[in-house]
Structure 1
Amino acid sequence: MKAVDATDREAQADNGVPASLLTIILDTNPHAWALLGDTLPLSKIVANLLVFINAHLAINNANKVAVVASHTQKAQWLYPSPHIPQDQANGNDIAMTDTAQGPPEDPNKYRTFAQIEHTLTTNLRNLISTTDPTDLINTPSTMTAGALTMALAHISKTALSAPTTTRGTTFNPSTGTGAFTTTDQSTSAPQGLTSRILIVSVSGDLSSQYIPMMNAIFAAQRLRCPVDVLKLAGDTVFLQQAADATGGIYLNLSAASSSDTDSSSDTGRNSAGILQHLLSAFLPDSTARQHLYLPGQTTAVDFRAACFCHRRIVDIGFVCSICLSIFCEPVGEEGTCLTCGTELGIGDYGKKPVVVRRKKKKRLPGEVGREGTPASGAGTPAYSG
């Protein structure tokens, strides 16, 4: 009777798998998508991402998802849709809503899936239609660092309000593989929402965003949030470093076939398996990845940095001993750091050595010379014609 009586029921902790928050950063740079042409349209990537999001939500009823667009001039939320009330339009926090005018009723589709699809496609269509052509000329890059910062802020706020469970995972940087391993000390510790970020990138060089990218990478590492990267075109040094530092996966589809020199055709050939790459490589969360062999672990990471003066990626540079700023060339004649103003002692770097001409030794009469003949006291007779 005690097992049936509700008054004598013992409190039990939730020992289930914690909920997972997946934040997707979609690169919507019009320049990069225009270069891909008809081989890989943006609509096809969005359709594959929607299937991937549905699979993530179907694994656990408590799973959550968020999508951020990394555009040319700004980073904007695609899901949840930002809503600004009239009394909070003066710079306060923006309330997030899950719907945008409500999705059309479809009895053959799960309402949550239809809601996310309608909100994401509507906000993406509005973002592209409101893009000013002058902004595309002035800014050919994308705001990846800003989108990553917005994603980390959303993850931090969501994790504070999420319920905790008794199952936990900790990141072990000594493993070298970036896996999140469970330890005996963390098994009984309360663990809330597990979060991860997936960046779908098509843009190239991000050297102009070196400092904010490094700050975002360190923040993600502190939050124990893996940053996964799906590179559809080109290659980016800092996204490689972000995946390596946070224990994420870096998968470059454009480099999957090195025999083909045409990157656009290479991307088009690999685009047929984008959904397969998403489901096999990026669908497992941090808890499941420790039992799987993940792709991209054998890829060499490019650890080069960008200089603070010209934003160039350098192999060998000059580092300030005070603020650790990196420069691609000596900092002027005065030797002053451009970041902190410290006078740096470069020494004799760059100065040409002084070449001293060797004096010829005068040979004495009877001394054996280099040719092995003794020197005579008489001079060479002059020629008389």
Structure 2
Amino acid sequence: MNRIDASEHYDESGFTHQTPSLLTVVIDTNPRAWAAIHDLLPISKAIANILVFINAHLAYGNENQVAVLAAHTNRAVWLYPTSPNPDYPPASRRRKAGDSGQDVEMTDVDRRGHRPREPQLGTSANKFPQFAQIESSILASLRSLIDGTSPSDLNPTTLISGALSMALSYIHKTSLAFEAPKTSADPANPTTAPSTKTAAPNLHARILVLSVSESEPAQYIPTMNAVFAASHAQIPIDTLALYSGPTFLQQAAFITNGVFLSAAANPRGLLTYLMFGFLSDVDARGSLVAPTQDSVDFRAACFCHRNVVDTGFVCSICLSIFCDVPENAECLTCGTKLALGTYGAKPAVVPRKKKKRKRINGTGREETGSATGTPGPA
């Protein structure tokens, strides 16, 4: 019977399931930056395009997962999944109460101490229940974030570094859940050495940053710490810049082998950039030609004035960068006395020695290219 229906060709023992992929999206929600590109791409249309991209990622595999964070002006907030301990009340209300220990009215619980239930989603045959749940959670959390933003919170700084740190922590926690249990040694032969074969990855994780603001020099150190941690964990950081050029995120994509694309010329094509540039996971990129950067801005921020500099002075002990020589030539970070050598001295000009020309047979005639000398007057 196997020869007739050819069932022997389908050996279930050799089938390997698809490795789950975790996509962590960090959305820059700086109101000032979105107001600058409101005429080209409002934040409402951008969120709609991101939801389509997230649904495509989830539909790519049954075990794929997604997490969404918002990098705001004064904090980083989870949009999906929602945090079990949300930051209620908003920071603006906590400032009104002060630090005197006064109670603040909690608007997210009822009199019995229970949280109000989220509104039930309408059943629709055209929307997958998981897609509807994620969409409802992201929109509700984003609306709560915008409502809790006061005019005093509107500053040009965006906490990308905090969002990256939270994303790395969530990825590490999720990878532990997918980690296979360690096999113990054989009780019959306890002297058997454990296998040194490299195990296949149990989770493909990556971070996608949707940036609309420039890099803040004051966040250079925490941002690069998060970038180096992601590089050590082999987690690529992809970046899609909708406005200007984030210097530090370019370096993050280069260091972690991620993808950096700039959509500043055409922000309306956000969905096209997302689907064609960032839909493939880490495993699939090995068989595809991923977009590359033509040039990378490797400028760093100085530790003294927090300015982005092209050239500077670097401490040989702690590798701190300074735009100018510190006072008394002492490192502001570790206090090491910097040896500047001959810095600032004028270069010494050495005169060039003149070469004497060779003379032929002791005569006064200089060597020329001809066999005979120059004829004199008749």
Question: Which digits, 9 at most, give the CA deviation of each residue in 1:294-351, with x for residues without a partner?
Answer: 12x141111121111111111110000110100000011x111000011112234235
Mapped contact 2:27–2:69 kept (Cα < 8 A)? yes
Per the alignment, residue 199 of structure 1 pairs with: 209
- Does 1:335 pair with 2:329? yes
- Distance in 1 separating the partners of 2:196 and 2:32: 46
- Distance in 1 separating the partners of 2:124 and 2:197: 42
When normalised by structure 2's length, the TM-score is: 0.74
Q: Secondary structure at the match of 1:122?
A: helix
Per the alignment, residue 283 of structure 2 pairs with: 287
Per the alignment, residue 257 of structure 1 pairs with: none
Per the alignment, residue 140 of structure 1 pairs with: 156
Per the alignment, residue 175 of structure 1 pairs with: none
AA paired with 1:304?
R
1:353 is displaced (CA, Å) by 8.1
Per the alignment, residue 274 of structure 2 pairs with: 278
Per the alignment, residue 311 of structure 2 pairs with: 316
1:288 is displaced (CA, Å) by 0.8
Per the alignment, residue 379 of structure 1 pairs with: none
Question: Which digits, 9 at most, give the CA deviation of each residue in 1:241-286, with x for residues without a partner?
Answer: 10011111000011xxxxxxxxxxx4xxx23321111111100001
Query: Are the structure 2 counterparts of residues 31 and 215 from structure 1 closer, same or farther at C-alpha, using a change threshold of 3 Å?
Result: same
- Does 1:118 pair with 2:111? no
- Distance in 2 separating the partners of 1:234 and 1:14: 47
Per the alignment, residue 359 of structure 2 pairs with: none
1:291 is displaced (CA, Å) by 1.2
Per the alignment, residue 124 of structure 2 pairs with: 107
- Distance in 1 separating the partners of 2:293 and 2:36: 29
- Distance in 2 separating the partners of 1:205 and 1:302: 12
Mapped contact 2:301–2:309 kept (Cα < 8 A)? yes
Q: Secondary structure at the match of 2:168?
A: helix
1:37 is displaced (CA, Å) by 2.5
- Does 1:221 pair with 2:216? no
- Does 1:44 pair with 2:54? no
AA paired with 2:177?
S
Per the alignment, residue 364 of structure 2 pairs with: none
Of 178, 202, 221, which aligns to 1:162? Answer: 178
- Distance in 1 separating the partners of 2:120 and 2:332: 53
Per the alignment, residue 382 of structure 1 pairs with: none
Per the alignment, residue 173 of structure 1 pairs with: none
Question: Which digits, 9 at most, give the CA deviation of each residue in 1:84-106, with x for residues without a partner?
Answer: 39xxxxxxxxxxxxx97254122
Question: Which digits, 9 at most, give the CA deviation of each residue in 1:55-111, with x for residues without a partner?
Answer: 0000111100000000000000000011239xxxxxxxxxxxxx9725412222111
- Does 1:350 pair with 2:351? no
Question: Which digits, 9 at most, give the CA deviation of each residue in 1:212-264, with x for residues without a partner?
Answer: 1110011101111110000000001110010011111000011xxxxxxxxxx
- Distance in 2 separating the partners of 1:144 and 1:100: 31
1:14 is displaced (CA, Å) by 6.7
1:211 is displaced (CA, Å) by 0.5
Query: Are the structure 2 counterparts of residues 273 and 346 from structure 1 closer, same or farther at C-alpha, using a change threshold of 3 Å?
Result: same
Q: Secondary structure at the match of 2:27?
A: strand
Query: Are the structure 2 counterparts of residues 80 and 102 from structure 1 closer, same or farther at C-alpha, using a change threshold of 3 Å?
Result: farther
- Distance in 1 separating the partners of 2:74 and 2:22: 26
Query: Are the structure 2 counterparts of residues 208 and 186 from structure 1 closer, same or farther at C-alpha, using a change threshold of 3 Å?
Result: farther
Q: Secondary structure at the match of 2:173?
A: helix
1:186 is displaced (CA, Å) by 11
Give unmatched runs, 5+ long, in structure 1: 1-9, 86-98, 166-184, 255-265, 356-385
- Distance in 2 separating the partners of 1:124 and 1:13: 45
Q: Secondary structure at the match of 2:287?
A: coil
Mapped contact 2:260–2:293 kept (Cα < 8 A)? no
Mapped contact 1:309–1:328 kept (Cα < 8 A)? yes
Q: Secondary structure at the match of 1:18?
A: coil
Q: Secondary structure at the match of 1:191?
A: coil
Q: Secondary structure at the match of 1:46?
A: helix
Query: Are the structure 2 counterparts of residues 344 and 14 from structure 1 closer, same or farther at C-alpha, using a change threshold of 3 Å?
Result: farther
Counting aligned pairs with the same residue, the percent is 50
Runs of 4+ in structure 1 displaced over 6 angstroms?
Answer: 185-188, 352-355
AA paired with 2:53?
F
Q: Secondary structure at the match of 2:124?
A: coil
- Distance in 1 separating the partners of 2:216 and 2:14: 46
When normalised by structure 1's length, the TM-score is: 0.72
Give the RMSD, CA atoms, in angstroms.
Answer: 2.6
Q: Secondary structure at the match of 2:70?
A: strand
Question: Which digits, 9 at most, give the CA deviation of each residue in 1:101-133, with x for residues without a partner?
Answer: 254122221110000000000000000110011
Per the alignment, residue 76 of structure 2 pairs with: 75
Deviates more, 1:305-314 or 1:59-68: 305-314
Mapped contact 1:67–1:79 kept (Cα < 8 A)? yes
1:54 is displaced (CA, Å) by 0.4
Per the alignment, residue 252 of structure 1 pairs with: 262
Mapped contact 2:40–2:268 kept (Cα < 8 A)? no
Per the alignment, residue 373 of structure 1 pairs with: none
